[in-house]
Amino acid sequence: MSDPIIQVRGLRKVYRVGDVDVEALRGVNLTVERGELVCVVGPSGSGKSTLFHILGGLTSATSGEVIVDGRDLSKISDAERTEMRKRLVGFVFQKYNLLPTLSAADNIAIARHIAGRGLTEDPKFREVLQLLGIGHRLHHKPRALSGGEQQRVAIARAIVNHPAILLADEPTGNLDSKNSEAVLGVLRDLNERLGQTVLMITHDAHVASYGHRIVHMLDGRIVEAG
């Protein structure tokens, strides 16, 4: 069996807010195997997003060990974290976060460009776009797309560089039930057909049921690892 793609040991994160230290993560331990679809659930302030940000290389840990695809994130510099975000992780946000002035195709292309893969389209990626059901909507700007379509473009952008893990933060939080099902179906298909490891944060128990296992967080700790 191969090594876990994510290994977190004793992870702590303390934020300084004014003169007060806020302990967002208080010794988190988590292991995610390759090809897993794991859902992280918990109330607001439980530390889900902070864990997401550290795993995605958006911020550093205060202490503890975080290994993603064999790389210890606790020992890398800001520049190395920036480099890691290009290829190791893909993000899907609740608010889609597409660049409003670019078409769907260009939103995907810019992620390739930033990762140094050029602007030309990868032929194999066309199949993924068909799987996502947005092949015919690529030349539209985000404002011309429905919420579900925008989120599927965001998913395409997140996986265009074949990241080791896909981090999805409340990906259905802004969608109606029909579009939520479509997006969750896409994430599950990516996981099942392409073996994409997915870590998804959610409040919704129904959404969480799409995962192979559910990790519960409370007050900066994992209280149930599924």
Rule CB under 8 A: which residues touch another protein?
Answer: 53, 56, 58-59, 79, 82-87, 91, 93, 97-100, 110-111, 114-115, 157
- Min separation Cβ 108 and another protein, Å: 11
Pick from 16, 17, 21, 84: nearest CA to 53: 84
Query: What pairing do the DSSP bridges indicate for beta strands 213-218 and 221-224?
Result: antiparallel
- Min separation Cβ 192 and another protein, Å: 26
Rg (CA), the chain: 17
Q: Which is nearer to another protein, 85 or 216 (CB)?
A: 85
Q: Which residues contact 77 (CB under 8 A, 6 or more apart)?
A: none
Q: Which is nearer to another protein, 107 or 202 (CB)?
A: 107
Q: Which helix (H) or strand (E) holds 10?
A: strand 6-17
- Min separation Cβ 113 and another protein, Å: 9
Q: Which is nearer to another protein, 54 or 207 (CB)?
A: 54
Distance CA 225, CA 38 (A): 10
Q: Which is nearer to another protein, 4 or 47 (CB)?
A: 47
Neighbours of 186 (CB within 10 A): 21
Distance CA 65, CA 74 (A): 6
- Min separation Cβ 59 and another protein, Å: 6
- Min separation Cβ 203 and another protein, Å: 18
Distance CA 215, CA 157 (A): 26
Coil vs helix vs strand at 55: helix
Q: Which is nearer to another protein, 101 or 120 (CB)?
A: 101
Distance CA 62, CA 54 (A): 10
- Min separation Cβ 117 and another protein, Å: 11
Q: Which is nearer to another protein, 128 or 214 (CB)?
A: 128
Q: Look at the block and give the residue holding tokens 């990790």.
A: 215
